[in-house]
Amino acid sequence: MTERSMRDRMLAGELYIADDPELARDMERAAALSHRLNTMDPTDAAARRAVLTDLLGAFGPDSEIRPPFRCDYGYQTFIGARTFANYGLMCLDVARITIGDDVQMGPNVQLLTPTHPVAAGPRRDKWEAARPITIGDNVWLGGGVIVLPGVTIGDNTVVGAGAVVTRDLPPNVVAVGNPARIIREVEQ
């Protein structure tokens, strides 16, 4: 029986070591494509779309990400149709990040899938893992929202600027604060 690669362990949601050479090559590819995106002519929408289509796992029609944009791997981020991300989106996509259709994201939104052991020894030995993030359709994430590992945000939900989403949010609610808490339902 052959030992599984660190990439296979990462993709399975298991503990892995991030500075593995195969994963380092994947990160270098994402860094090069992100750099190209972040330094290209801002008026060349077709070129930006081409880079994002190459970088991401999926990039839906009529979606837009305003540079700068950062990600770990790119191939773990899937974006639906007609989604807009303002300046400074960060997707630490160690686990899959799924962003639905018609999502709006303010500037400096962070989608963070990595987790690290609390125990000192494994953390010192550079082990980490990740949990996926899912953003439903027609969600609005205000500026500076941080979404933590393993969180799902339901369709039509609004998350206020600066909120830290530490646990799942159901569809059709407004949530604010740190940690994010539901304050009301979304008007239909």
Closest CA to 132 of 160, 163, 155, 153: 153
**What gap in Å lies between CA 27 and CA 138, rounded to an integer?**
30
Would you say 16 and 114 are in contact if contact means Cβ atoms under 8 Å apart? Answer: no
Is 107 strand, coil or helix? coil
The 16-17 sheet, strands edge to edge = 16-17, 127-130, 114-115
**What gap in Å lies between CA 139 and CA 125, rounded to an integer?**
38
Query: Which residues carry out catalysis?
Result: 116
